Structure 1
C-alpha cells in the first residue's frame, strides 16, 4: 500500500517547538513578499532549491528577523500588510484561512497571535523528518516541504498498516516534536485523500473494499487535481461528488487526456511510482510590491530579479531554453511574454533577454505595476535541444566571466556583485 504523511499546520507547529507557550492558542504565520531585495543595500539573501513552492520561496534571507509579531508586518505608515501562510486549528475555528490577509484575520480574531516566518527552521525540520522517514520506510518521496509519500508494499502486511501508521505518527511526534496525519490506501491519490479526513493528528487506512463507501460522498473539489475551473465544469453537468464523477465516465473522458487521467485517479485505476529523487524542471522568481508607475525603477527591479535567478541557474548547473516574464498591473490587468532560445547561458545575455521580454510584455504603459515574475524552464538535460553554434565562442568567453562572478557570490553573497543598472 501507499501512505501519505502531512505535517499538521507545519509552520505553526514548527514555531511551537521554539515557543511551547503557543500550544492551544490561536496562532498564524504571516508572510510578505520580500521586496527588500530591491533595496540598494540589500544583503544576506540565500537560495533554496529542495522545498520551494507555495509560501516557501526559492530566495529568502539567510538570517531571520528578530521581529516575530505583528510589528514585522507593518509598513512605514503603520498599516498592517501581508497574508497568512498557515494558521492553527484554534485560529481556523474563527474562520481564518490560508492566504487571507492579516488585516482580515485580525478582524475575525483580535486575539490572534501573528508570527513571522522562519524558513531556516522549516527547512531543518523538513530535512530531519525526511531522514527519519527514510530510516523507517523503504521508499520515501518528498512532495513538498511538509508532505511525503511512502510505499510499504511487501514491507508491511496490509493487515498491519493501521498499527504501523499509528506508531509512525507517535514516533514522529516523540522524536521530532511535529504532529502529522497519515493516510494509507492502494494508490497515492486515495492515500492523500485519506490524510485529509484523518486530520488533525490522526491516521486513516482505506482498504480496496472500502473505497466506494469512503470516496463517493466526498465533494469533487476536495480531490487533489480538481481546481476551480474543473469544479465549475463538473458542477455545470451536475457532478458534485466523487461518486457522481465515477458514474459519468463517458462524460469525463470526452473532455480529453487530463480528464481521463483524473477519472482513473478517482476510480483507483491510476497510480504513480514513488520517486525517491526529484529533478527540478523549472525555476523562477517573482515579487509583489506596492504599485509603481516609474518604468526606470521597474527596469531596475527586473535587473535585480535577473541577477538572483542567474545565480540560482548557475548553482543548479542547468541551461534553460524557455524564458517567461509576466507582469501584473493594477486594475487587475496582466501581460506576459516568452521566448525559446537554445544558446549557452550567461548572466549578461540573460539580463539583456529579461529586459527585452519586459519591454515587449509591458503593453499597459499607462498602468502601475504591482508584480514581476521571471521563469526559466525546459532545461537542455530534459528537452534534448542542441545549443546554437552562432556566437558560441563569444558566449564561452562570457561564461568564464560569469563563473568567476558566481564564485565570488558563493563566497560573499548574492549581493556582493551587482549590475551598475541596479544602483
Structure 2
C-alpha cells in the first residue's frame, strides 16, 4: 500500500499574522523585517511581484518596491499563532511532524479505508483557516519530498494531490532548484553541466552524481526520482538540550558563574543551530552548597540566537540566585524544541549581525567550537573543575552537553 503523506505550509505566515492584527494592511505590498539595515523576514505576494524575496536586505527590497510598507515582526504573536495551528493539527491527525514554525508533515496512510485522504486533508485546512484566520496550502503524495515540492507549486492556498503514477510527470519539468536541500553551490555545478531540470537530474547515473557532489549525490538522485522513505517523525514538545557544571570547590564568585552561564548558552545555541532546532523554553538551574536545588524557566519566542538567549539566561539567574550562599552546580536547559532554521528573532538585527552568525558558525563547523566564541564568556573549566583562563579561545566550555 502506498503511503499518504501530507505537507502543510502556512502561506506568508508572518505577513498573514500581521494582517490579522491590522486588516488595513491587506492588499498592499508588505514587508515584515527589522528596519532599514535589516533583512526581509517575510513579504506579501504583492511585494514579491516586484522581485522582493525573504532574506533580501531591506534597503534592496525598498529599491525594488519603494511603495512597500515595512512592519516590525511581533515575536509573541507568531509563536502564539503557530501553537494554535499545531494544536488543531494534533487534535485531528494520527501522526504529525512539526518541521518548522509554519510547516507540518502528516502521515495519514490507510485513511482511505474510512475517509478519503484528500477530502479529509482539505477539510482540516478549512478548519485551520476558519479557527485561526490563517491561509494554508497543502499537498498530498506518497512521500515527504514530493508533497513538499507540490505544496510550493500550489501556493498560495494550493491543495494538490500527486498520486504515485503522477510523481514522475509532475517532477520532471521542474527546475532542480525545487529539490529540498539542494543548495546554490550544487545548483551552479549541475547547471554548468547542463543539468537544469529534474528529469535530466533523474537520468544522470547516481554514481556520477556521487563522484561530483559527494555523499549527498545519492540522496539528490533519489529525490529527483521521487524516492524518499523518510518517516514522519512525531512532534515531541518535551525534547531538550542541556548542560550542567559542578564545581569541586563551591563558589560565591557571581561574575565567574555568569561567565560560565554565558558560555553554556553559547555552546547550546550553536548546537541548536547546527541540528536545526528552535528553542521556546529556557531553564536555569542552581544547586547551593547545602544541596538545595532550584530552577527557573521562561517561555520565549522561538529562537536559536545566543545573544538573545544569553540575556534571558542572566535575567533568570539573577532572579533565581537570592541567597548569599555558595553555589555547587549550575545548569542550563533549552526545552520546547521544534525543527527549523528560521532566525525569527532577528527582526531587530542588522545584516551585519546575521552575517556574523553565519560566519561564526561556518568557522566552528570547520575548525571546532573553540575556534571562535564571544568574549562575554572568558573562562573554561579545567579537568579539576576549577575556573581557568583560556587565552586561545577565551570561551566557556561546560563539562558536558547532552541531548535528552
Indicate the TM-score class for this superposition, using the shorter chain for normalisation: 0.5 to 0.7
What TM-score do you get using the length of structure 2 for normalisation? 0.63
Checking the alignment, whether the CA contact within 8 Å between 2:173 and 2:197 is kept in structure 1 is: yes
Residue aligning to 1:186: 142
Partner of residue 28, structure 2: 25
SS at match of 1:163: helix
Aligned to 2:233: 275
Cα 1:283–1:183 change in 2 (3 A) is farther
SS in 1 for 2:105: strand
> CA distance change for structure 1 residues 98 and 119 in 2, over 3 Å: closer, same or farther?
same
**Contact 1:30–1:83, Cα closer than 8 Å, also in 2:** yes
2:203 is matched with which residue?
247
Give the Cα separation in 2 of the matches to 1:271 and 1:193. Answer: 15
- Separation (CA, whole Å) in 1 of partners of 2:233 and 2:219: 19
Q: Give the aligned partner of residue 402 of structure 2.
A: 380
In structure 2, do the counterparts of structure 1 residues 12 and 251 end up closer, same or farther at CA, with 3 Å as the change threshold? same
Gaps of 5+ in 1: 32-72, 74-79, 287-302, 318-325, 341-345, 361-373, 383-423
Please give the per-residue CA displacement for 1:88-120, whole angstroms capped at 9, x wherever unaligned.
001111111111222222222222111101111
Report how far residue 8 of structure 1 moved.
Answer: 0.5
Report the CA distance between 1:198 and its aligned residue: 0.9
**Per-residue displacement from partner, 1:119-150 (whole Å, max 9, x unpaired)?**
11111111110010011110011010011100
State the Cα RMSD in Å: 3.8
TM-score by length of 1: 0.60
Q: Which of residues 252, 260, 269 in structure 2 aligns to 1:284?
A: 269
SS, match of residue 314 in structure 1: strand
- For 2:125 and 2:71, how far apart are their aligned partners in 1? 26
Look up the match of 2:344: none
SS in 1 for 2:6: strand
Equivalent-residue separation in structure 2 for 1:198 and 1:376 (angstroms): 47
Aligned to 1:314: 332
- Equivalence for 1:90: 46
| Aligned 1:75-224 pairs, distance under 5 A | 80-157=36-113, 160-224=116-180
Deviation at residue 237 of structure 1 after TM alignment: 2.4
User: What runs of 5+ residues in structure 2 fail to find an aligned partner?
Assistant: 242-266, 272-305, 317-330, 336-352, 371-376
Contact conserved, 1:91 with 1:109, CA < 8 A, in 2? yes
- Per-residue Cα deviation, 1:179-232 (whole angstroms, up to 9, x for no partner): 011011100111000100110011111001001110001111111110011112
- With 209-218 and 20-29 compared, the bigger mean Cα shift is at 20-29
Q: 2:11 aligned to 1, 8, 11, which one?
A: 8
Query: Which whole-Å CA distance do the structure 1 matches of 2:67 and 2:120 have between them?
Result: 39
Change (3 A) 1:306 1:90: closer
Distance 2:98 2:26 in 1: 27
Q: Say if 2:379 and 2:390, in contact at 8 Å, map to a contact too.
A: no
- Answer yes or no: is the 8 Å Cα contact 2:14–2:32 preserved in 1: yes
Deviations 1:57-91 (A, max 9, x none): xxxxxxxxxxxxxxxx3xxxxxx321110000011
Deviations 1:141-164 (A, max 9, x none): 101001110000012459923322
- Shift in alpha-carbon separation, 1:246–1:355, aligned structure 2, 3 A: same
Distance 1:358 1:198, change over 3 A: same
